[in-house]
Amino acid sequence: MKPASVFFLSILFAAAPDLDVAQADDPAMALPKQELKVQAQILRRGDFIAFGFGSIWMMTSNRLGRFNPADNSAIDVPIEGAIGPYRGIAIGESAVWVPDIGSKTIYKVDPKANRVVMRTRADLSDSEGSVGVGAGAVWVVTMAGKKITSKDYNRELSRFSASTGVLEATLQLPARGAAAIFDHGSVWVTGFNKNELYRVDPVTNRIVATIALHERPRFLASGEGSVWVANQGDGTVQRIDARSNEVIATIETGAGGGGGDIAFGGGFTWVTSHEWPVIKIDAKNNQLVGKFNAPRDAEDMGDAIRYGAGSVWVSGTSLFRIDPSQ
């Protein structure tokens, strides 16, 4: 592996003596202001990231960076034909999956050979989302035909074979879809403009549960027997019990608006936004336990977030490695 450009930092978080109590009834506003402790800054711009096969993965231009958490070194996997922007990178079915909006292609990368081994054409639109991988398939929100207006696009869930790339099934969604993930034996899709979450049975390719959510649900994560949803409309995070399909917690974060991401790891749910690059939620009690400012010398931090190898990783103008213990 060739070494990536890395800055090792020792920036300790500091709690400000004053609390923002402008909205004392809102726990998100009553937390002390804290500055992140950054373990390393890797000088590589990117957006969506993933953790799998012992590595962090992030697209930069038309190359997929693979970062070794042991020493933060990197190698590049060329993605020939990729244009960008990209939807969230997925891990599953023994591969890394890169959905490229520009070329309308999903690239399958073999992590053993570090090369593209399959290209699947898909009518992708809108990079703010993710694809699900499981049950021998890749699950992708796609356009639903030329007659669908721009207001209602992304109304189809397409199922592609993970081994051949063949389109196996399509499902018309009740609302404009955004993100998809696969866990708990099901596909989960956010219905962005109807404020809903859909659970899809991979055996029948049908929706088996519709769950009402807060405004503009988009990004998804899974952990502790639950699916976690980041709602862009009001900045809430909602926790859905995967056994009962019930919303069991709604956590105010104060980080609404476009962009952002959500991840799970180390017993916590992690949220990022351009205003708050790291937000920490304790899964044991569903409590917001930390909101962290970017270090003063960190530029444009908070595009995407993942947990892996005992650290939190946040993308932006650089890839930041964060100590999760703070």
- In terms of Cα–Cα distance, which of 231, 209, 213, 324 is closest to 278? 324
Query: How far does CA 170 lie from the centroid of its chain?
Result: 23
How far apart (Å, rounded) are the C-alpha atoms in residues 40 and 16? Answer: 23
* CB distance 116 to 79 below 8 Å: yes
105 CB neighbour count, 10 Å cutoff: 21
Query: How far does CA 278 lie from the centroid of its chain?
Result: 13
Residue type, 123: D
Burial of 257-273, coded b for 16+ CB within 10 Å and e otherwise, reads eebbbbbbbbebbbbbb
The predicted-structure confidence for 220-234, as pLDDT tens digits, reads as follows: 999 999 999 999 999
pTM recorded for the entire structure? 0.90
The CA-based angle 316-196-97, given to 5 degrees, is: 45
Tokens of 104: 């309308």
The predicted-structure confidence for 193-225, as pLDDT tens digits, reads as follows: 999 999 999 999 999 999 999 999 999 999 999
pLDDT of residue 237: 98
What homologous superfamily is domain 6-322 in, according to CATH?
YVTN repeat-like/Quinoprotein amine dehydrogenase (2.130.10.10)
Q: Is the pLDDT of residue 24 over 60?
A: no
The predicted-structure confidence for 4-20, as pLDDT tens digits, reads as follows: 444 443 333 333 333 33
Backbone angles phi, psi at 98, to 5 degrees: -120, 105
Q: Where do the domains of the chain lie? A: 6-322
